[in-house]
Structure 1
Amino acid sequence: MNCPELVSKYCNPTIKWYQTDLTVVISIQLTDVSDYYLRVENDCLQFSTEINSKKYYLILYLFGSVIAEKTVHKNIVREIKIYLIKALKWFPWLRLIKSKERNPLISYDPEHIQETEPIRKDYDSNYFYLYIYIL
């Protein structure tokens, strides 16, 4: 049995994202968007729009849970910014979506990459041993 190829009439936009301790910020890279549909649930984001007779559609099953009611979005001329509030604050997301497969249209925003240095604490060894001896 030969099945026909699945062909979609919709295009997928490019996405950049970054996170803080409290939020996940998603930037949908589309210019001159006048009207769009956005729906956010606890672990899913849906987006669609039409630009110059070209239809865009996006469904993201998120890596972690968000508080859907607190979602804020802005239409900037060159992108749509979506601010999601993490349900588990201070829990870092390993990736944006649940799927472990790499999506070439999703990338971490390079402007928000921060280098972290391990914190090295020097303890006074005499104090440490004295503390254990008292216990």
Structure 2
Amino acid sequence: MSENLQKLLLGRFDRINISVIIVVQVYNVLNITDLLRWLNSIACDYTMELAIDPAILSVAILPDAAKATAARRLERFASECRLEKRRHVLAIAEMIKATPKFCSVTNLLTFKRFTEALDSSRRQRLDDVCPELLQYLSE
């Protein structure tokens, strides 16, 4: 994907604008700034939306500490991103902090079952792919 996106961006296309729509959700919220930095480095436009459905992927199921960490990282990133993106990045950080509290044992167990099924189908483990997320969920 990286190689293909870079080829498109480097091409001389007068009528094509490339933009990435990022769905911020449980699995990527803590590391979303890595993706944003990379998109900035290749001069690719982006926008972000918060996942709300299925609810089990919403950042609302995360503990407050995880949401605060993700928001803080976005706020820091806002100081280094392109000026025209700053307001959007800060708005997403605020939205993450303002998500309703749906962190409960029931929701976390449902998320765990969902993740185990997903991991099995992809031959991955949450422990390996998102260790920081797992740490927050274990607290």
> Which of 1 and 2 has greater Rg?
1
The two structures have a TM-score, normalised by structure 1, of: 0.29
Compare the two structures and name the one with the higher helix fraction: 2
TM-score by length of 2: 0.29
**Structure number with higher strand proportion:** 1
